[in-house]
Amino acid sequence: MKSLAQRTIASVAIVVTLALGTPAMALAVTTTSSTTTSTIVANTPVIKNLRQYRAAEKLYLAKLKVVNLTFLAAVAAAKANLASAIGAASNSTQRISARATYRFAITEATIARSNALTLLGKPPVKPGHKPLVTTTAL
C-alpha cells in the first residue's frame, strides 16, 4: 500500500512538473560590445477582484503543496534506500557508498524543489496592491 501511495505522489509530481515547465516569463536579451546581459522579467497578472485573487491563491497554494509533497516523497525514498542499503551492506565501503548515495539523492531533491519553486514564482497579489516586478540580471 505504501508503494501505491508513493507512485501516486510521484505521478502527480510529474504531471505538475510538466504543467509548471512552461513558465510565463518574458526574456529580453541585450547585447553590448563585449558582454551579453539577459534580463528576466516576471509578469504577474493583475487581479481585478477578490474572487480572482482567491482562485489564483488557491491554485498557487495547491501547486506549492505538490512541490513540497514531491520533495518529502523524494526524501522518504532516499531514507528508505539508505536503510535498505545499510542493512544489506557487509563492509564499511558499502556503507560509505550508501551514505554518499543518500546525500546525493537529498541534494538532487533539494535542487529539484528549488527549481520548482522558482518556476512557481511569487504568490498572487491582492486587488488594490501594486504587483511586484521582478527583474534579474544574468
Looking at residue 127, what is its pLDDT?
83
The two counts, helices (H) then strands (E), for the chain are 3, 3
Whole-angstrom distance, CA of residue 14 vs CA of residue 21: 10
Q: What is the pLDDT of residue 63?
A: 96
Asked if residue 47 lies in contact with residue 129, where contact means CB atoms within 8 angstroms, the answer is: no
Q: Provide the β-strand partners of residue 40.
A: 27, 136
Alpha-carbon span 112 to 70, nearest angstrom: 9
Q: Residue 16: what pLDDT?
A: 47
For 69-110, how does the pLDDT look when each residue is reduced to its tens digit (9 = 90+)? Answer: 999 999 999 999 999 999 999 999 999 999 999 999 999 999
Q: Please check whether residue 132 is in contact with residue 41, taking contact to mean a CB–CB distance below 8 angstroms.
A: no
Q: How does residue 32 score in pLDDT terms, banded at 50, 70 and 90?
A: very low
Identify the band that residue 26 occupies on the pLDDT scale cut at 50, 70 and 90: very low
66 touches 16 (CB < 8 A): yes
Which grid cell sits at 120?
512557481
Using the predicted structure, report yes or no on whether residue 52 has a pLDDT greater than 70: yes
33 band by pLDDT with thresholds 50, 70 and 90: very low
Q: Is the pLDDT assigned to residue 111 strictly greater than 60?
A: yes
